[in-house]
Amino acid sequence: MSVQSAIRRKTAADIRRRKGGEPIVMLTSYHAHTAALVDRHCDVILVGDSLGNVMHGFETTVPVTLDMMILQGRAVMRGSAHALVVVDMPFGSYEASKEEAFHSAARILKETHCGAVKLEGGVRMAETIAFLSERGIPVMGHIGLTPQSINVLGSFRAQGREQEDWAAIESDARAVSEAGAFSVVVEAVAEPLARKITQTIAIPTIGIGASVACDGQVLVLEDMLGLSPRTPKFVRRYGDLGPAIEAAIENYARDVRSRAFPAPEHVYGMRAKG
Ligand code: KIV
């Protein structure tokens, strides 16, 4: 077996085939080193535009640019070898027309070598999803709470908690699936609705604040590690790195101030002559 076939990455088609099967495991990553860790355990790595919040401290994902996504997408590709890497299309890079979406998505694929892109929107993006899919660009959809629309929505509220809102969200799910997306993120959608959507559409659903019945789950890595200042309701924390990192920094600062660091083993002596 050649080295290349031994490290073959998962593809969008592999993920599409997982409908109704073993749950798809997905986490975000924006850096080479975390990508290497995530890659050992996950099927999909999402280079999410949540990097705008996590890495850059923006209040929303709206300011994130295509160049920012491409830079971090390249880092994640360098750090990983097995998982499918999906790069988010940022706000303003795809909504104006399907042609604009194609140019942005093609740049992402060409410059990062990732395997797929993700974009937000259901019925309104169906034509674009079909246009990209038919032209060789695998698309992951994203419905329910779509954070790029925050300026219209007004708040990051869960969707579909009133029965009268269900029809529109179900139409979004159907539209994305029928347009040719290989999977769809279902974010912050009432549990019974997320379950129903999973049972009725043909492609895998990947839940975040949705339902255990989804075909997979995704979380923002920093949220589940306890590194984010705020933990949303739908996050289970698998670590408490914030306090651990702060304690390490405090210890480092104390050692530098007391000249306990660097110790003799951390400095270079002169090489012996002859
Ligand atoms: O940007 C992101 O991290 C996402 C996930 C929350 C699904 O879109």
| pTM of the predicted protein model | 0.95
Give residue-wise pLDDT tens across range 207-238: 999 999 999 999 999 999 999 988 999 999 99
Give residue-wise pLDDT tens across range 122-159: 999 999 999 999 999 999 999 999 999 999 999 899 99
Identify residue 60 by its one-letter amino acid code: T
What whole-number distance in Å separates Cα of residue 52 and Cα of residue 81?
25
- The atom number, within ligand 1, closest to the CA of 49 reads 1
State the pLDDT confidence band at 77, using cuts at 50, 70 and 90: very high
| Residue 95 is a catalytic residue | no
For the chain, give the mean pLDDT: 96
Task: For residue 28, report the distance from its CA to the centre of ligand 1, in Å.
Answer: 7
Instruction: Determine what percent of the chain is predicted with pLDDT higher than 90.
Output: 95
pLDDT given at position 7? 54
Residue 87's φ and ψ, nearest 5 degrees, are -110, 130
What whole-number distance in Å separates Cα of residue 192 and Cα of residue 187?
13
Tell which one of 46, 49, 119 to mutate to probe ligand 1, the residue whose CB is within 8 A of the most ligand atoms. Answer: 46
pLDDT given at position 73? 98
Q: Whose CA is nearest to atom 8 of ligand 1?
A: 48
Task: For residue 44, report the distance from its CA to the centre of ligand 1, in Å.
Answer: 12
Q: Whose CA is nearest to atom 5 of ligand 1?
A: 48
The DSSP string of 133-176 is HHTT--EEEEEES-GGGHHHH-S---B--SGGGHHHHHHHHHHH
Does residue 161 have a pLDDT over 90? yes
DSSP structural state of residue 189: B
Does residue 3 have a pLDDT over 60? no
Q: Are 210 and 188 in contact (CB under 8 A)?
A: yes
Task: For residue 21, report the distance from its CA to the centre of ligand 1, in Å.
Answer: 23
Give residue-wise pLDDT tens across range 15-68: 999 999 999 999 999 999 999 999 999 999 999 999 999 999 999 999 999 999
Ligand 1 pocket at CB < 6 A: 28, 46, 48-50, 88, 185, 187, 208, 218, 220
- Which residue matches tokens 């209040």? 59
pLDDT given at position 5? 52
Mean pLDDT over residues 165-173, rounded? Answer: 98
pLDDT given at position 8? 86
DSSP structural state of residue 181: -
Task: For residue 50, report the distance from its CA to the centre of ligand 1, in Å.
Answer: 6
Tell which one of 29, 149, 156, 185 to mutate to probe ligand 1, the residue whose CB is within 8 A of the most ligand atoms. Answer: 185
